[in-house]
Every structure is written in C-alpha cells, then in structure tokens.
Structure 1
Amino acid sequence: MQRTLVFVVFCLVYQAGFAKKIGEWTDHLSYNYASDVVNTADIVYCATSGGIIVFDKRYDQLSKLSTVNGLSDVNVAKLAWDKNNATLVVAYTNANIDLLKNGKVANKPQLKIKQITGDKTIYNVKIINNKAYLCTGIGLVILDHVNEEFGDTYILGENGSNLKVNDIELFDGFFYAATSTGLKKALANGVNLLDYNNWQTIADLPMEGSVNSVVKINNLLFALHVSTNGTSTIYSLQNNAWGIAGITGNHNYSHLFETNGKLASAIYGRVVTFNLENETRSEQWLSLPKDFELDGNTTWIADTYNGLLRFKDNKLDTLLPDGPGSNSAFKLYAENNTVYMAIGAYDQTWTQQYFGGSFYTYNDSWQSKKIEVAGDVVLLKPFPGNQEKLAAGCWNDGVVIYQSPQDQKLFGRDNLYEHTMTYLGENVPYIRVSGLQFDTRGNLWVYNVGVENPLNVYTKDGKWISMKTPGFPKNSRGEDMLIDQRGNKWCLIPRDEAGIYVFNEGADLTSTEDDQYNYFNVTATESEGIRTVHSIAEDKDGHIWVGTDDGVVVYYNTYDIFDSDPVGSSIIIPRKDGSDYADILFDSETILDIAIDGGNRKWFATGASGVFLMSPDGQKEIVHLTKQNSPLGSDQIYSLALNDQNGELFIGTNVGLFAYNYTGSQGNQNFNSAYVYPNPVREDYYGPIVVKGLMEKSVVKITDIAGNLVNEIMSSGAEAEWNGKNFDGRRPATGVYLMISVN
C-alpha cells in the first residue's frame, strides 16, 4: 500500500527552524574539573577539562567555550590575561596554545607538535612585558602573543639539560625562575639568557626539594620551597637576602600566587590570603579549590570538582554549564529520546578504574544519578516500558536494579543466595558484568564474565536463572553481548580464547533440552588470522557486524549459526585507480563500537581514526569525522549511541562526550509529522535541505509548481537529504516547490 504526502517549500527567506541543522555539533563535556581562573573587568574565565567556563559579570550570564565554538582542544590547564592587549592565553595539558582576542581564536600548536625530548607540559603562564612566559618541563618558552609568534626557549639545567620550570617572575631587573631543583636568577637585560651559565642557583634556599612558586607583591618577592617530604616554607627577599617570611602557618602549600595585590594560596578545602604587614592569614572554608581571584567582596574559585564557584556575602554559588559530571563516556545507550552514560571503566588488563557509582542521563538536559550500593557502572539498560527503572552492570560488584536514590537493589557478592551470578574465584570475590540485554519477553540477560557459566537471566517476574553454557571457553574474559532478531545471544570473548559464543535457550528457560549453542573464532575468508573482537551490531537485514582489532567482519547468513563453524566476510572495496586491486574496509583499524541508523547505514567508532559513516553495504564512505576536521576532541572513540528520534549521534571519546546531528532517524509509521528544514529557504543558502518525519524507504520527488520534476531522492530512515540542485547539478530558480513523498 502506498501513502502519499504533498507539502510546499518556499525558496524565499530563510527562517530559523526549531530543529538542529544537519552537521551541527554539541559538546556534552564536563566542566566540573577546574584548574585555573582569571578575572577581568567584565568577564571571568575558568579553565576546565572540557573547555572554558565564561561568566559575564555585567549581565550575570553563564556560557562556555569548547571545540564546538572555537577552541582548538580540550583539557585546558592554564590561563593568563594580558590586560594591556586584551588577550587571553589558553594553555592545554598537551602543550597546545590558543590566543583569544577580539572575539577570535588563534591556535599556536608549535610547541605541541614540535619533536622535543622531554616534558612539554605547561605548568604556568605569566605575562611579562607583553610576552607570555610558558613555564614547562623543558624550560622557559617565550610566546609573543601580540605578534602571535614564538620566541626563544631558555634551557636552565646544568650543562644545558632540560629543567622543569614551575614559575617565573621579573623583579628589580632580574628574572627569578622557580624550578624543580631550586630558585634560579638571571639579569633580564645585557646577558645571553640562552646560556644556562647565566642562570645562577640561589644558595639561600635549601638545595633539596623544589621551588614551586615565585611571586611579586608590590615591592616584595616571595618564593615557596617544598621539601621532598612535602613540607612547605615561604621565603621572602629583603635587603638583597632571602629568609623565611614568617607567614608559613600550619599548612603545607603546593603553590603561591598573586590576586588583587595579595599573596594567596589554594589548599585542600580552603583558600588562603596573607596579610603581609602583620603576617596573619585570612582563610575561607570552601570546597577543593585549585586557584582563585579576589574581586572586591567576591571571590572567584576554580574548584577541582565543582567548576567555577562564586563566594559572595557568605554565600557560595556554583556556576556550571549543563553537562555530565564526568568526561568518562565509557558506554552509551540511547532509547526513547534519552541517552544513558556509564562512566565506570576497565582498562586493557580488565582492571577497574574506580569511578564510583555515578552515572548520567540526558533528555534535553543532564541529570546526575548515584548508585550508593556499588561502584564502576560500566553499562546501563532501561527496563522495557519504564525508563526510570534501570539495570546497571558493575565491573566488580554485579548488577544493580535502580529506580530512585532510595530504591536500589544490588545483586552482588554479599547476597549470592538471592541470584545466580558467581564471582571470579575464592580469592577474587568480584562479579564482573560486561553485557546486559532485554529479550522480547522482558527478561534481562546478564553476561557475567570470567566464570564457567556466564549467562544469567533475571526474569520479568524477578527470578534468577543460570544458563548452562557447554563449550564456552572456561573463565574467559568477556566484552559485549547482543540479542539478535531470532533471539540468539551473541557473547563476545575478546582475548584468551578470542571469538564469539552464540546461545539460544529455546522455548523453555529452565530446560536444557532445547538449548542451542556454538563457539567459534572470528575469521574472514578474505584474510588470515583470528581477530580480537570488541563490538557487535545487527543491521536491519539481520546481518551481524563484528568490530575487531583488524577491521570489521560481517556474518551475512546466520540461519545455520549453530550447525557450522562460521566464517565471516570482510568488506572489499575496489580501488578507483583503474587497477584490479581492492582494499579491505578498515584494514588494521580497531573498531570499538558500531551503530546502525534508521537507513541501515553503519557508524563505526575506531580506536585511533575517529568516526566513520558507511553506506548500508559498507562500500561507500559517507562521513569521516576526526579531530582535525571537526570539533571532536579526540580520534579515540569508545562508544556510540544514536537517538533514533532525530538521528543525532552521541560520540563517547577518551576526553568526553560530543553529539553530531545528522540524518538517519528511524522511519515513522506514517507521514503525519513530516516537515522540511530549513523552510523557507533563502537564495544564498547552500546547505542541505532535509525532509524529516518520513516513513522508511520513502521516495521524495521534488517538483516546481507546474509539476515539472526537479529531482528525486530516497529517504534514509525517516529523513531524506536534498542538495538543492536539479538532475543537471544546477540550482533551480527561486520559487515555490513541491515535495511529494511516496512509500
């Protein structure tokens, strides 16, 4: 039966629509982990692992800067503000540099990409005489941020060796460098600062330990010495001699800095300012500050776990953009317009990473949730028909059924009598879960890895059943699990006996008589060797796609999966050079996750090359997203999740979560919600024109008002994309056009 819809597109004036644009990016990064803050006349900038928190004091307005809207990188470590030139110097943990001025960003990656032996980490940035002095693990690197060019690099170690510089100050005609081996001094003018011999170690300070800070306050100079046992002492320069300042106090400080003319430090749980005249301290008890700025009766704080804080009138405000509380996007899952983000993780040796029991959900805004009874949540699945009730798989603690902060049920090692899962061994009391899937009957299947019988079922009525799994490699480590259209359970075994175990319980969960199973290594006819498996997905044709450490393997015929030793197929792509040669898709690439969109196209997450979107058969590359050509903060992709309501792809990387809006949502049952975006279309708009809300595999005919056919396109899932051109590749004249969709 065919269904037809007619609607009109006006190519006159562009009007902003309510939908996101195709190709639009959103960062879902955490801005909780702050490390530095600078206060300017109107704006406060706070450095975080996600980017920069921006607070406009004039309008009490919060915003953020990330790779999506201008920054070149993630993990901002240090900031420095040049008031005279209205420039913000942004230093990243990987030695990358951005310069923000006049609303524009200039990237200066030279230090990051330069091949240097040693530690290029930027530990501090000071603006001195219109230049940015970068204190690094190799020495002092000078950046002329006004002219946007690098200058000299001063290597201060003995015999010209690298020496970590923690801080720098210009005082009374001398440079003072706080280093990992002491305080060094050199004339600012008249000597060759490239010669390490001109940097003399000051003997008045202890030789053991390091000098972490050197700070100028009015006409005084202070240095912070930290001994090898962590004891800190503040020294001051008076009458050309260094001595203990007498304001050390009872705390061990890690660094000193200047704020609003005062000597200050941030330590565990408080910020401290020193009154130098009578050598007293003023302390404010706060969270976990890393840096702060005094601003009249306001204190701006960069907090280790809470982003930007404002302390004013004895009130503490958290100024934090909406986002998850962590950048560990280990496992993602999307369903019914909600994204679930598990942050618990394990490394390549299967060791848990101790991220606690937090997890996050997103549906237009982020919500933080906490499992109190377990830790390291590595995957989440909502119960069918109840998105508030979740099954959480924990790497060492078993399974938690979560309904609310007050309603959490753990099935773990302390209540083995209540469930059928088992732990690794008598001396290793860990219950590790790497796979959770609901079957069509509402039963939860649990992949309890590293044990003899790893498949368990938590039935719809709350009972546990352990499945006998003959032929399963004993005590093998596990990865993901899939339940296909026929109800077969595909269990990935990534190492040891690397392969796949497929299981079907038949009609009776409690009987083994109708069980079917098969274990096989993952190989492909086009290549040799057994592959290590990482990911698995079933497409709309029932084909099974397996991501390995050497590309992708496809099992096209799975009807006899229990009767044979299956051999998969690689995707062979002929070269377009006129030769008879061909290449294997993703040869030597590690595929960590696979997502199938509404048009049966395949998204692939790679371990080092970003994200690929391939045609349904894998022959054609449609999109390739990398750190170089997009706002992705990294090419190391852990997890993917597709919002099938709108085609938005959520991309979990090793530096955080990003979202990319593209076509490919699931096809609708009718045309009732179909619309065009943008509509109207302006004459100077050259982007894609997208028809959304279609039925799957709809044909869309574009005609002019007289009925002349302009072009014809096919939907991918619920969406069809038109490039705005006719069959001849030309843009049609401005006017009224019809789009007729037929399914």
Structure 2
Amino acid sequence: MFKRILLVILLVCPLITMAQDYTESWEGHFSYINIIDVTASETKIYAASENAVFSYDIQSQEISTLSTIQGLSGELISTVHYSDNFKALVIGYENGLIEIFLEDDTNVLHVVDIVDKPTIPPTNKRINHINEYEGVLYISTNYGISVYNLSRLEFGDTYFIGDSGVQTIITQTTVSNGYIWASGLNATGIKRAELSNTDLIDYNQWTKISLGNYTSVQAVSDNVYATNTNREIFRIENNSNLNRLKQFPSDVLDVKSANNELVITTANLVYLYDDAFRIIAQVGANDSFNTSYTSAISTIDHFYIGSNSLGVLQSPIGNASVFEDIYPNGPLLNIPFSVQAGNNNAWVTYGDYTVSYNPAPVKRYGISHLKSDVWNNIPTDSVLGATNLNAISVNPNKISQVYISSFNEGILEVESDVAVKLFNETNSGLETVDVPGSKSVRASASTFDNNGLLWSLSSLVLSPLKSYDLQSNQWKSYSFEGLYSDPINDELGFSDIAIDNAGIAWMGAYFNGLIGYDYKSGTSQIKSLNEESQNMPDKTVTALALDNRNQLWIGTPRGLRVLYNTSSFFTDPNVEVSEIIVLDNGIASELLSQEYITSIEVDGSNNKWIGTIGSGIFYFSSDGQETIYHFTKDNSPLPSNNITDISIDNSNGKVFIGTESGLLAFNSGSSGTKDNYSDAYVYPNPVRPTFNITDDLVKIKGLTDNVNIKITDIEGNLVAEAQANVNSRYGGANLEIDGGTAFWNGKNLANNVVRSGVYLIMLSDTDTFETKVLKLMIIR
C-alpha cells in the first residue's frame, strides 16, 4: 500500500525526485571510517560517514554500502534516522536536503523543500535531528522545527519557536506525556507544547521550561532528559522543573533513546542508563583502538559506537574490554588530492598545498593503495614523518615500488606498501627551500620517463628539476637560472611534469606558465610561455598531458591550450599555443573557455579526460571537437563538481576520478594498446542467445596501436572492418576501436545482426605486419 501511495505522490509532487542508480558503469571508492551518526532497525545498524552510508546486518554480518553510486547526493550528512514503520532510512544533510532510502525497493528519494526555501538563509538549513512519532517526522534544524508526513511524503507546518518567533537553532525534539519537547541553542533552552494543539506555528503556544543552551532532549518511558553545553544532564520533573543529575567529564556529543534506555556518547566514553537514570553499562577508550567516539546506539546485546577513524566499534554490553571494528573496505579519507592508477592498482594521497603552493596547515595523512579490489591503508605513523604527501609515481619496471612527493620533507619511497626511505637534502640531490634556517623540501610534480628515470620538481630552489637513476642511485640537478634568478620571488611552485621522447621536460608553473627544458641538447635550453601575446590565457599552468601524437595539452585556471608542434618550441621565435575552436549550435566558440582545469589524461584512443573546478569532468575526442561525455553532479554519481585529479588504468579501462568529496571510478571499457597480439582474445565466446550483442557488444582485447581488423564468416565473406585512428569509438560504426579494445555490435555491412555461425576475426598491424586470427562462435 505504501508503494502505491508513493507512486501517486511522486507524480504530483515536484519537490520529490527519484535518484538514479549508477552501479552498472561506476564504482564508488568512499571512506567509511569517520562516522557522523548511527541508527538501527530491528536487524541492521546504519552508519553515516561524511557523504555515504553503510549498513551492517546483525545476524549475517553482511555489510552493504549506499553512496552516490546508488543515488545519494554526495552532500555532507549531518544525521540519520531509521523508520521501522516505513522500512525507510531518512538522511539529513548540512544543506537542508533530506533523502529517504526505501529499503524494500532500494530507491532513494530526494526531498528538496528546505534546500529550495528562499526565506531561510543557507546557513540555517542544517538538519540536526530527526524524531519520529506516529508516522510524522519532527525535523530539528538551524531555523526551527519542520513537520514531515512519511505516509504522504509531504511537509506540514514549520515551527519558528525562538523568542518572538524568530529562527533559532533546535538541536532535538522528543514526544512524551502528551507534549512535544524541543532543545535549542542561542539561549532557546528547553521548550514544550501540547502535541494536540493545532496552532503550534504560533510561538506563543510554546512554553519555555529553562533558559540556556541545550544540546539534546530525549524521552525514555515517561521520563524526559536534557543535556546542555555545560556537559550537564537534567531530568524534567512534573513537566516543568529541571533536576540536575550529573556533569560529564567531557562534552556530550550524542544522546539517543533506544529500547527504553538512554545512550549518551562523549569523545571517549559511552554510557547506558535505564529509564530511571541508573547506570547499566559504560564503554571507555580501548588502547588497541586509537580513536574518538562520535555517536552510539545500543541493541539488546551490544553497543554500536561511531568513531572518527575506525568506523563502527561493536562492543558487548557488560564486556567493555571487547571491541570489533566494522566498516566497508575503502580508502582513508574522502578528500583525494592525487591519484595514480595502472596494472589493476590505484594509489591515493591526501596531502595537498594551497593554490599558491603554501603547505600550511600541515596535512598529516597516510596513503591508500587499491590492489585486487581491496584497499590497504598506510597510516600516518607509517610514512616516516612525511607530510603533505601529493604526487605519485609508480616505477614502470617494478610496480610494487612507488615514489610519493612530500611538500615538506622530500620524496617518500614505498616498497610493497611499506615506506622504506625518505629522500631529502641529506641523502639525495633534493634541496631545502632557499630560505636561511629552513629545512623544508617542497617536492611536488613527478613522473618516470621511458628509460626508468624518476623526474621531480621542487619549489623555491634555483634548480627545481631533478632526475634520479634508480639503478645507479645518481641524482642530477637542472638549473633554471636562464629563466629566473630569484627562486623565492620568481616562482612559487610546479603543478605537473611530462617527459617526451625527444628529451624535453615539460612543466607547469605558477608564474612562468608552460616551461620547456631541453636536457638532451647539450646546451640545456630552457624557455617558457606565459604571456597573452603567446596566446596563454593565464600565467599559471595547472595541468599537462602529452598525447599519442606528441601534442602537449595545457590546462590553466582560465581555459585550455594545445602546443601542436612541440619539436619547434626552441627554434621558433614566435611560438605560441592554440585554443580549440568548436561549433556550438553553429556558432564558433573556444573549448573550455574560462574553465579552471585541474587535470588532463589521455586514454588509449588518444581521447582526453579533463577535470575542472566547478564543471565536473569532460571526455573529448582526440582533437577536442566532440564531447563524448560531460559528467557532473546532476547526471552522474560525482559527489562534487570540483575535480582534484584523474588517472586511467589502461589495463582495465577504469578512469579514477578524485573529487573534493570522494573517489570514484568510471568503467570506460577501453584499454591500453599492446606491442603484439600474443595476448589478443575475444569475449564473450561463444556468444549465446541470452547475450544482447547489439547493446552489450563483443569485445576484442589486446590490440596494437596500428591494428586493422577484418571480421568474415567461415566462407570468407567480409562482415565488418575497422582500422585504428579511423574507426574510433563513439563514431557510430558497427565495429569501433578504442585503444587496445575493439567493440562489435554483431551487425554486418548491411547493418543486420549476423546469423549463428563461426566468424573469423583477422588482426593485422599496418606497421609491423604482424597478424593473428581469432575464432568467434555466435549462437542465436
């Protein structure tokens, strides 16, 4: 019955929208260890992290996640409530959004009435607490109390109960003894009103019981308890008098009523009281679990305690020495700064620095490593003291060896997930900043070249460019004296680096724009482009990428540029970069004009993934003339339109996208090319009648850069043909090539789906003339 009512409401109510599920093409890699709030149903515990939720089945111990992939907004969560009557999880957000997850059919509803309310300032829309009574939600916010009918999925009245009816912060509500009680800040104190009163929108109908600032009010059986900002707890007696019971040793962070018991959480203690405020049990800190508590709920047998770094801690009631940490596998944090993916691995750091390359405040975070779909998190105390960890470079000859830049201490070497060495001014060619008495080694961008040399950049030194030969353990320094002479005032830092096959290091700088350094010429030529006369839209370069044609793509805070002829950079006295001009409804315009670009990545088809601040992520054709995808919060599971980094794993086609609110991966289906056809294969094989060949497509993997593909029937009749860089993916052909993978929709030259039979897939490389034949069985 509830679902039928729900469908009618959705048709007539424009302020409720149904979320889209993105599980088919996207993966969420969210962190679930910093718990904001916990709630419980009869069978499950629900725990909310910053912008995602997980559930824990008490009997089966199964963990399930709920994030933007399943339709959540990705906004910052402030509270959660589970409705047993409606089998629904209600999620409240910092911005006033409410989402309802219907457990029976796994749908997520967005309720945006509060978000869209123009008369409430954005800072006042926070959802502080959700209390349910007889199918009605009493929603405590920073402006007052809103009433929401769960059966009808619509808002009723709003109570502004501050003095003289002004908006005020309400922290909690509860219902007891025929009254609705409210606790509030801004000297709102404790107020009550008769629940049967039909005029509760009139603030005069609310009686003030106590002055002051109260953080909670909760009913247990017939008793009502309240806590204030002085860490005190009171019992309200005779519906009007406050009886002080106790002062806690630290701030009260969370108060809940469960199973006719009162659960009170502080940073290092959880208390359980019966309805008469007699202590039943308490749980203190555990030396083996170094964390702080944030919230808690109790069942008949256990405490479930939200923590700020270990997910949910389960502890038996009556045995406070036993703990079990519960959370989904995921990275350390939801603030990825740098991502590096490849060979079915992904590395993530969280260190960062400001836009103007200031490392303060110092970021003491660890590292996350995804391997075989499992995250291993290297904690802060295991990175040899390195802070502000940022750029990541994986040794292409030994993928277990990773070098991570620290924008304070140099470069950290990690071997098999263990930090083994910290390169600084004492044991390498790295230098401290050119400031007397400073010991800061501000390493940022880094990369490996095709010869296995590690290249890195450091800020505020005259020789910022370094190369490190891992085999000989030799460092080389490259001076920028030909470009500038004052490393403190002439250049703040470097965003990115790319090394081409001609021996040129390309670098993005804060003041000097695009820098090219020819380290193989014998004359150490250095040159920069940063002027408007050179068609640079900004002096700052934020991202660089060399594509498969050796063209350099350049991102800036004010748009995109391309250096098409990199070979003439030092010889052409009038060299300049070019914008990309596209037709938009027949009108010529500049691609990504004025967009703040943060990351550029090139895939196996030479197409470009470009991340921005404010506009999400774009996927362009190789020349930028076609927008294949444009993902934002509105049409994808991105939790934010601010992209911090992008990295492509060419072994499986996953595009890892770091945002300011979490990490995701998009399954593009493409892959990197191979040197030969030794590993080429086709799948599925055989193609059975249950396989939707026209939509799900046959994939041919393990292709080379210059592949030509002919598909024939067993009698030799040509069915389909494609060639690399000619029949690229998304072009509309029946057979298309995307890097090392080809996609066939099962149609022949007449555009009809082929019949059952054996088909020959003939691969030939137009450069090396290598060939291979694959057989494919189709059953229709």
Map 1:42-191 to 2 at 5 A: 42-101=43-102, 102-105=104-107, 106-115=109-118, 116-117=120-121, 118-180=123-185, 181=187, 182-191=189-198
Give the match for residue 385 of structure 2.
373
Q: Which runs of 5+ in 2 are unaligned?
A: 1-21, 286-290, 722-734, 766-780
- 1:24-64 per-residue CA deviation (whole Å, 9 max, x = no partner) reads 21111111111222222222211112521111223221221
Determine helix, strand or coil for the equivalent of 2:480.
Answer: coil
* 641-650 vs 172-181, greater mean Cα deviation: 172-181
Please tell me whether residue 447 in structure 1 is matched to residue 450 in structure 2.
no
Give the match for residue 15 of structure 2.
none
Give the match for residue 347 of structure 1.
354
Q: Partners in 2 of 1:289 and 1:668 — Cα distance?
A: 51
- 1:683-738 per-residue CA deviation (whole Å, 9 max, x = no partner) reads 67352413222222433344455555444334221112234545565555666655
* 133-142 vs 381-390, greater mean Cα deviation: 381-390
TM-aligned CA deviation for residue 111 of structure 1:
2.4
Give the match for residue 737 of structure 2.
715
Please tell me whether residue 239 in structure 1 is matched to residue 241 in structure 2.
no
Please tell me whether residue 297 in structure 1 is matched to residue 301 in structure 2.
yes
* 118-127 vs 190-199, greater mean Cα deviation: 190-199
Contact 2:538/2:557 (<8 A) preserved: no
Taking structure 1 as reference, are residues 663 and 84 closer, same or farther at Cα in structure 2, changes over 3 Å only? closer
Please tell me whether residue 213 in structure 1 is matched to residue 213 in structure 2.
no
* 167-176 vs 109-118, greater mean Cα deviation: 109-118
Please tell me whether residue 399 in structure 1 is matched to residue 411 in structure 2.
yes
Determine helix, strand or coil for the equivalent of 1:559.
Answer: helix
Contact 1:523/1:567 (<8 A) preserved: no
Please tell me whether residue 648 in structure 1 is matched to residue 654 in structure 2.
yes
- 1:55-84 per-residue CA deviation (whole Å, 9 max, x = no partner) reads 122322122122223434354332111112
Please tell me whether residue 258 in structure 1 is matched to residue 257 in structure 2.
yes
- 1:412-442 per-residue CA deviation (whole Å, 9 max, x = no partner) reads 4xx5475441225236543211111233443
Q: Partners in 2 of 1:98 and 1:339 — Cα distance?
A: 31
Give the match for residue 11 of structure 1.
none
Letter in structure 1 aligned against 2:334: N
Q: Partners in 1 of 2:679 and 2:418 — Cα distance?
A: 39
- More relative contact order, 1 or 2 (CA 8 Å, 6+ apart): 1
Contact 1:22/1:688 (<8 A) preserved: no
- 1:535-590 per-residue CA deviation (whole Å, 9 max, x = no partner) reads 0000011000001122210001111212335311111112444xxx3111111212
TM-aligned CA deviation for residue 258 of structure 1:
1.4
Q: Partners in 1 of 2:477 and 2:401 — Cα distance?
A: 23
Contact 1:125/1:133 (<8 A) preserved: yes
Give the match for residue 538 of structure 2.
530
Please tell me whether residue 602 in structure 1 is matched to residue 608 in structure 2.
yes
Q: Which runs of 5+ in 1 are unaligned?
A: 1-20, 508-512
**RMSD of aligned residue pairs (Cα, Å):** 2.7
Among 295, 309, 312, the alignment partner of 1:308 is 312
Give the match for residue 270 of structure 1.
269
Give the match for residue 420 of structure 2.
408
Q: Partners in 2 of 1:103 and 1:151 — Cα distance?
A: 26
Contact 1:524/1:570 (<8 A) preserved: no
Q: Partners in 2 of 1:428 and 1:396 — Cα distance?
A: 10
Contact 2:366/2:377 (<8 A) preserved: yes
Contact 1:394/1:433 (<8 A) preserved: yes
Contact 1:232/1:254 (<8 A) preserved: no
Identity %: 27
Q: Partners in 2 of 1:404 and 1:23 — Cα distance?
A: 32
Q: Partners in 2 of 1:610 and 1:278 — Cα distance?
A: 52
TM-score (norm 1): 0.88
Q: Partners in 1 of 2:760 and 2:157 — Cα distance?
A: 64
Q: Partners in 2 of 1:113 and 1:454 — Cα distance?
A: 50
Give the match for residue 17 of structure 1.
none
Taking structure 1 as reference, are residues 236 and 89 closer, same or farther at Cα in structure 2, changes over 3 Å only? same
Map 1:333-732 to 2 at 5 A: 333-352=340-359, 353-364=361-372, 365-369=374-378, 370-403=382-415, 408-412=420-424, 416=426, 419-426=429-436, 429-460=439-470, 461-473=472-484, 474=486, 475=488, 476-478=491-493, 479-494=495-510, 497-506=511-520, 514-521=523-530, 529-563=537-571, 564-577=573-586, 581-679=587-685, 680=687, 682=689, 685=692, 686-689=694-697, 690-704=699-713, 707-712=716-721, 713-727=735-749, 731-732=753-754
Q: Partners in 2 of 1:524 and 1:656 — Cα distance?
A: 39
Give the match for residue 337 of structure 2.
330
Q: Partners in 2 of 1:157 and 1:264 — Cα distance?
A: 28
Letter in structure 1 aligned against 2:268: G
Taking structure 1 as reference, are residues 59 and 600 closer, same or farther at Cα in structure 2, changes over 3 Å only? same
Contact 1:134/1:140 (<8 A) preserved: yes
Q: Partners in 1 of 2:206 and 2:663 — Cα distance?
A: 45
* 168-177 vs 100-109, greater mean Cα deviation: 100-109
* 700-709 vs 718-727, greater mean Cα deviation: 700-709
Q: Partners in 1 of 2:621 and 2:190 — Cα distance?
A: 61
Q: Partners in 1 of 2:223 and 2:343 — Cα distance?
A: 62
Letter in structure 2 aligned against 1:109: V
Taking structure 1 as reference, are residues 136 and 528 closer, same or farther at Cα in structure 2, changes over 3 Å only? same
TM-aligned CA deviation for residue 406 of structure 1:
6.8
Count of aligned pairs: 702
TM-score (norm 2): 0.84
Give the match for residue 194 of structure 1.
201
* 390-399 vs 153-162, greater mean Cα deviation: 153-162
